[in-house]
């Protein structure tokens, strides 16, 4: 099977911003974009994106999960990057139009259709390092994906990094490509040096997030994760998991978590840790690596509560459980 996110539908939805106004969206070939080599995005990283999914239900219908939350977050990212403002309805329409176009291609469970809205500044102006792009493209790609856990939910190994940060602290809540690029070198070093799967950034001992996902700790009936601020991404999956945990009667603590407290709690029998994100939903963490020493989280295996929360979210996404929070947009 092709690697996750490497197969694309042949068409996408696209809208252009030129001369202070938006065009109507249209369905075009996915390889139809042409950029000037001086485009603002190529030099000054005026770009943001989103990731969400559409799911096929047992009755054959298709539903998009938490589209409104992703559209709202993209509008926020665009504002913080000084990209042109867009009406949420424009992106809502683009997403639903392109998913409708390829509704027959949405995989059966446990697969799904990954949706990637992307926004880029296109003005050819290399003199605008300190000014926003006056033209832009907004487009929506589709990628049918299989089960992220096809090879089994193998617990991850995380290296705790107390000195570096994933990105500039005032840009953490922006879903921009530059934030991911800035984390690549630490991640590559961690893989080469200690065989880690990811880096958990903990500047000044403040446990934040990994290079591509939010982090949660589960200690008995309590879910602990960093409270929202501008320094890290406000994950839609994170919010969904915390909401489901509350629905299950669990205590959700959004607060500061230090490295010392994390390691102390992680050593307790039954403790669990996980990463949350659109692709993997909730991925178990089995090992924390700190100052050259490996610390096993609980028994080192995928935790029962982690998998219960993941299954509960999947059941809502695939229409097997009640959508009590209105998260699904039925097509």
How far CA 307 is from CA of 65, 188, 266, 313, in Å, comes to: 19, 28, 17, 10
According to the model, what pLDDT value does residue 292 have? 94
Bridge pairing between strands 251-254 and 222-225: parallel
- Nearest 5°: phi and psi at 91? -70, -40
Judged against a pLDDT cut of 70, whether residue 20 lies above it is answered with: yes
Are the CB atoms for 316 and 185 separated by under 8 Å? no
Structure tokens at 152: 């089994």
pLDDT for residue 150 is more than 60: no
Q: What is the mean pLDDT of residues 205-232?
A: 95
Sign of CA dihedral 199, 200, 202, 208: positive
Pairing between strand 156-161 and 198-201? parallel
Domains of the chain, CATH where assigned? 11-145 (3.30.470.10), 156-317 (3.20.10.10)
CA distances from 156 to 57, 159, 217, 267, 283 (A): 30, 10, 14, 16, 8
Helices 304-317 and 236-247, packing angle to 10 deg:
110
| This prediction's pTM | 0.96
Percent of residues in the chain assigned helix, strand, coil, to nearest 5: 30, 30, 40
Average pLDDT of span 69-83: 97
Does the pLDDT of residue 26 top 90, yes or no?
yes
Average pLDDT of the chain is 95
What average pLDDT score do residues 206-221 get? 95
Instruction: Classify the C-alpha dihedral 64-70-72-78 as positive or negative.
Output: negative
Identify any residues that bridge with 78 across adjacent strands, giving them in sequence order.
none
Query: pLDDT tens digit string along 151-172?
Result: 556 899 999 999 988 988 888 9
């Amino acid at each position: 099977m092709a690697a996750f996110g490497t197969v694309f539908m042949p068409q996408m939805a696209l809208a252009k911003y030129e001369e202070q106004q938006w065009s109507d969206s249209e369905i075009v070939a996915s390889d139809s974009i042409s950029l000037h080599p001086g485009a603002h995005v190529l030099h000054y990283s005026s770009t943001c994106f989103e990731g969400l999914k559409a799911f096929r239900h047992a009755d054959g219908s298709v539903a998009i999960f938490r589209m409104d939350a992703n559209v709202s977050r993209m509008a926020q990212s665009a504002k913080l990057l000084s990209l042109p403002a867009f009406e949420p309805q424009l992106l809502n329409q683009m997403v639903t139009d392109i998913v409708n176009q390829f509704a027959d291609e949405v995989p059966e469970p446990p697969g799904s259709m990954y949706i990637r809205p992307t926004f880029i500044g296109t003005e050819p102006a290399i003199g605008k390092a300190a000014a926003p792009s006056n033209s832009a493209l907004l487009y929506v790609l589709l990628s049918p994906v299989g089960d992220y856990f096809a090879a089994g939910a193998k617990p991850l190994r995380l290296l705790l990094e107390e000195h570096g940060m994933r990105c500039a602290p005032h840009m953490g809540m922006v879903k921009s490509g530059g934030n991911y690029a800035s984390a690549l070198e630490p991640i590559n070093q961690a893989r080469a040096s200690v065989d880690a799967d990811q880096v958990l950034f903990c500047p000044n001992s403040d446990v934040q997030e990994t290079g591509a996902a939010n982090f949660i700790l589960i200690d008995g009936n309590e879910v602990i994760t960093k409270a929202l601020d501008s320094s890290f991404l406000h994950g839609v999956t994170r919010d969904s998991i915390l909401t489901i945990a509350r629905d299950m009667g669990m205590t959700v603590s959004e607060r500061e978590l230090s490295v010392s407290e994390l390691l102390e709690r992680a050593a307790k029998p039954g403790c669990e840790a996980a990463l949350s994100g659109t692709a993997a939903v909730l991925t178990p963490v089995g090992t924390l690596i700190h100052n050259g020493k490996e610390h096993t989280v609980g028994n080192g295996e995928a935790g029962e509560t982690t998998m219960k929360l993941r299954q509960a979210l999947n059941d809502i996404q695939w229409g097997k459980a009640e959508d009590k929070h209105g998260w699904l947009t039925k097509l």
